[in-house]
Amino acid sequence: MAEVKAVEKEVKIEEVLEPSLDKELRIKRKKVVDPGFDETIKRLTPEKIEKTINAVLNLRKTAARFLAPLETCIHCALCSDACQYYISHDKDPTYSPASKLRLTLWEMIRRKGKVSPEFIKQCARIAFTECNICHRCSMYCPFGLDITYQIGMVRRILFLLGVVPHNILDQDNSQSATLTQLWISQADWIDTIQWLEDETRLEYKNLRLPIEKEGAEVMWAPLGTEPKIATYHVVRTAIIMNVAGIDWTVPSRDGWDSVNMAMFIRDFETMQRVVLGLYENCLRLKVKRLVLTE
Amino acid sequence: MTGLSNWDWDTKEKLLADINEWKEKFVNIRELIPSDDGEKIAAVVLTEDKRFTTCINGEVWEETFDRVWSLKFNPDNQLLCFVYRNFEWNFVVEHEISEEAFDYLWNLTLTPDGKGIAFNIKVGEEYGAYINGKRWENLFVDARDLAVSPDGKKTASRVQTKRKGAVDIFAFWEKIWTIAVDGNLWDNTFLAVWGVLFSSDSAHVATAVRTEQAQYTIAVDGKAWEGKFGLVWDPIFKPGSSDVIAPVRTPKGWTMAMNGKPIWGNFYQVLHQKYSPDGQKIAAVVAPQFPKWTIAVDGTPWNIIFNEAALAPVFSPDSKKVAAVVKDNNRWTIAVDGSPWMEKFDNIWDPIFTPDSDKVVAKAERNGRYFLVIDGKVGKQEFEHLWTPVFSPDGGKLLIRCIDKGKYYRRVVAIDEI
């Protein structure tokens, strides 16, 4: 926890430049201090960066897939007006979606993957803290260029290099190891559901939070935060289900947490495992519907 | 399922419990659990004093608890469960409460012969497992899932070997997950492990492992396959062997690999592989088109595909046929060797072959009522509730455990009378 507090303090450091970058790529930003950026880039070597970028972009075979959108873009700036980061930063052109590609993917391709760890850190700041993959820019593009997909591939490269905001990466790590967002043990998950039923049925007669009820109509898959730190959400869901007369259940096995942080950082493998876990539980319990929080 | 030949296959019908009476007697009744032979039915019940206990065939246990869960009958028809009171958990075998107490118990599992029990345990803030009266000497930061060896003597779980700080991404990269067998860690650790299971001789353990950010493979007894993949699914052992097969994703697509080397062609997806009882064939769910599903046997997909799902294949006892639950256009049915039944359902359970491999029966649901379906023909009778049926050893009769008009019955029906 001491480390996290230190990070919060350092975030207040004012505007900095990235002196190691080419002049044209230097952009003014408040410094983002995150061990997921600052410490992880120390583990990188030029060789690893080059190999990773080339593996993802497959520059020999499929560079056109990435290059064509970049070359088709006429910089009309329609995407800019779709971007909340651009608008909320007084229309600073360095926040425009096209600019974000220019500052990340374009340079990766132009330099055939030969970029520095500092450049990777800048890419991480742009791809993770100046774009939230909302897809609005792609919708606005008159050519239908999927800018979000391109930024997503930048995130994929960053995930493979391990340069990801540490809070998000830790949740992804948790999902990889436990299929839960917040390192929730199997015992704590079931115990929490039982404890909440104990508490709630004092107020709502015969209220149940059924675990492993085969053949129920609905399987509910909460966010990991709900049993971990927002248990009142679980209680409210249980009350709604019971009052509405819905035949529902939750699984006891891993594959109950519907958070998919892996999707946001393009850890496609963990992303698939999270989704498969939910489906496997639904099919095993023979439910007809999967209900997710959000 | 053990002891089938000792079951009562002569009495056509036994009324064993009036569940309607239970509903008047108790404040609340949880899910009903019948014994394998159908002679007993039990549930966790909430009594007037707002305490939980168990009720078996209408007889209530006088002991009460804050919580009771994970009911299960063993082949001797003894009721097993976990109970909680005075802030500690115990396990119970036929009303006998364990002296040993724990902070939590889960994954109650019978040994394959049904005589022993195993489960995961939480003690303080450490986790492990317990089998046949003995807990692991070594406990861990976390322990997830439980595999019991076929000889009923060993347990394995996937465990976290070191405690890590909150949001510590670097500790994760040190590889702090592995398998513990009877509490003993493998020599190697990984970023993540899942899908633990024993070989048929109980001598080996395999699991899926994550070795790098996007690199996966299978590890057997702690040693990872040399071949690495984009992703893998749960492995299984070849019966009577230490060979392991698992679905793996290669640059060309998903395929089946044995001991690290692909043995099938490529699909959009491969999962839920099964060996035939004779160990000579492999069947698995595959996606020959995206996203459509079927079953492949030894790498050759059925000629028919289903647009929503195909579930884990089931081999006939003679290893010659394969059946699977399939879903097409939002309706469920069974397909046998690529031929789906004409009748479709809202829900259907796994296919069960007769001992001579001739017929297939399944429990199905339509409009909230349950039926038996045999070779695609819907049975005459419908039920409020129905459990998975069991064939007699000669395959001529079927044990039906059902709720009919609020009463629990054990019925034995000749196959041709269904």
Q: Does A22 touch chain B (CB under 8 A)?
A: no
Closest CA in chain B for residue A210: B30
Q: SS3 string of chain A?
A: CHHHHHHHHHCCCCEECCCCCCHHHCCCEECCCCHHHHCHHHHCCHHHHHHHHHHHHCHHHHHHHHHHHHHHCCCCCHHHHHCHHHHHCCCCHHHCHHHHHHCCHHHHHHCCCCCCHHHHHHHHHHHHHCCCCCCHHHHHCCCCCCHHHHHHHHHHHHHHHCCCCHHHHHHHHHHHHHCCCCCCCHHHHHHHHHHHHHHHCCCCCCCCCCECCCCCCEEEECCCHHHHHCHHHHHHHHHHHHHCCCCEEECCCCCCCCCCHHHHCCCHHHHHHHHHHHHHHHHHHCCCEEEECC
Give the minimum alpha-carbon distance from A72 to chain B in angstroms, rounded to a whole number: 29
Q: What pLDDT, on the 0 to 100 scale, is given for residue A275?
A: 97
Find how far residue B389's CA is from the centre of its chain.
16
Closest CA in chain B for residue A215: B347
Phi/psi region, residue A102 (left: phi>0; alpha: psi -120 to 50; beta: rest), is: alpha
Q: What pLDDT, on the 0 to 100 scale, is given for residue B308?
A: 96
Q: For chains A and B, what is the number of CB pairs under 8 angstroms?
A: 98
The CATH architecture that domain A10-164 belongs to is Orthogonal Bundle (1.10)
User: What is the token pair recorded at A217?
Assistant: 């109509």
Mark out chain B residues that contact chain A at CB-CB < 8 A. 27-28, 30-31, 46, 66-67, 69, 103-104, 106-107, 120, 122, 127, 142, 144-145, 160, 165-170, 172-173, 177, 191-192, 194, 210, 213-214, 216, 230-231, 233, 271, 309, 311, 346-347, 349, 365
CA distance readout (Å), B254 to B243, B246, B259, B263, B275: 19, 10, 16, 11, 18
* Calpha distance A103→B304 (Å, rounded): 49
Q: Does A192 touch chain B (CB under 8 A)?
A: no
- Chain B environment of A160 (Cβ under 8 Å): 213-214
Ordered by start, the domain boundaries in chain A are 10-164, 179-292
Other C-beta atoms closer than 10 Å to the C-beta of B237 total: 23
Give me the percent of chain B exceeding a pLDDT of 90.
Answer: 98
Q: Does A132 touch chain B (CB under 8 A)?
A: no
Q: Are B150 and B171 in contact (CB under 8 A)?
A: no
Measure CB to CB from residue A173 to each of B66, B169, B214 and give the nearest one: B169
Cα torsion angle, B217, B219, B222, B228, sign = negative
Give the minimum alpha-carbon distance from A95 to chain B in angstroms, rounded to a whole number: 29
Asked whether the beta carbons of residue B191 and residue A35 sit closer than 8 angstroms, the reply is no
Q: Does A247 touch chain B (CB under 8 A)?
A: no
Average pLDDT over residues B60-65: 97
Asked whether the beta carbons of residue B107 and residue A186 sit closer than 8 angstroms, the reply is yes
Asked whether the beta carbons of residue A185 and residue B66 sit closer than 8 angstroms, the reply is no
CA distance readout (Å), A207 to A238, A242, A244, A246: 8, 6, 12, 12
Give the minimum alpha-carbon distance from A105 to chain B in angstroms, rounded to a whole number: 20
CA distance readout (Å), B218 to B245, B253, B255, B258, B309: 9, 17, 14, 10, 26
Q: What pLDDT, on the 0 to 100 scale, is given for residue B245?
A: 98
Average pLDDT over residues B348-372: 96
Asked whether the beta carbons of residue A178 and residue B144 sit closer than 8 angstroms, the reply is yes
Measure CB to CB from residue A160 to each of B169, B213, B311 and give the nearest one: B213
pLDDT, tens digit only, all 294 positions of chain A? 444 444 444 333 333 445 556 666 667 787 789 999 999 999 999 999 999 999 998 866 666 777 878 889 999 999 999 999 999 999 999 899 999 998 999 889 889 899 999 999 999 999 999 999 999 999 999 999 999 999 999 999 999 999 999 999 999 999 999 999 999 999 999 999 999 999 998 888 889 999 999 999 999 999 999 999 999 999 999 999 999 999 999 999 999 999 999 999 999 999 999 999 999 999 999 999 999 987
pLDDT tens, residue by residue, B297-329:
999 999 999 999 999 999 999 999 999 999 999
Give the minimum alpha-carbon distance from B10 to chain A in angstroms, rounded to a whole number: 30
